[in-house]
Amino acid sequence: MPVASPRPLYAVIGVVVIVIVILAALYAGGALRPQAPVHYLGSPSGYEAFVPNGQTVNYSGQTDPVGDLILSNGTTLHDVIWNGQYASTIINNHNQIVQLNSQFVGQTDPVNHQQYVPLQDLYVIKGQVPVEQTTVNGQTYYVIEADKINPADIAGFYTYDKWVSNFVAAMNTSGTYAAVIPGNSPVYDWANLTGTLVYQTKIYQDYIRGFAGGYLLVPTNGSIISYGTTSGPLGSAFSNFTVPYKVYNPSS
């Protein structure tokens, strides 16, 4: 009696193995995972901010930055992933600021003779933020689905790391305006953090391509915040903050 050839069986096994490999790859990339519902956090007319902390995580096959999400009402969410557009830009911007912090923090401002302080980047979103929850390696995260946000509604800034919450609060305060400082402004001589940061943000712009410093956020309560803008994103909805048209006059 003739013996059946094993080749058809081997072919079937080969096809099954290929299918398993493809399915595993799709699952690892997130294509076959159950999709968590997307929730929109924050205020439709407010400003929310993602603040990277230097950590990254592999999510949906991409390396994404991790940090905090500060909502317009002051609530802060931890363990937040920024997924989608600008993820690599955020990682690059943050790494460059960390590098400059290690170089300059503790040195003395030659103008007001105060020590430089750590700066922090943040990425502000105008309107509500699309967020879902997920688990990566046993850790629960909030995930900002950045591809669902209009690029015009995202902009990057940097300021003193302990002023980040104040920066977000000021942007959400009616009457706050942004201003530039002329090179001969007496603000540079102020022996306080505002004076120090005006000079320090301009130093950082000389080291990181696309950064721009020397701006002031002036809320109605008078607590002036020095800041700069990152190399991107720079959404058009933030033009009053990224390209201020007012000139700050400390005597006014």
9, burial (CB in 10 Å: exposed 0-12, middle 13-18, buried 19+): exposed
Least confident of 6-10, 37-41, 116-120, 135-139: 6-10
pLDDT digits (tens, 9 = 90+) for 23-73: 444 444 444 445 568 999 999 999 999 999 999 999 989 999 999 999 999
pLDDT at 20: 52
pLDDT digits (tens, 9 = 90+) for 236-246: 999 999 999 99
Higher pLDDT, 34 or 119: 119
pLDDT at 29: 46
Residue 240: its H or E element: helix 239-242
pLDDT above 80: residue 4: no
22, burial (CB in 10 Å: exposed 0-12, middle 13-18, buried 19+): exposed
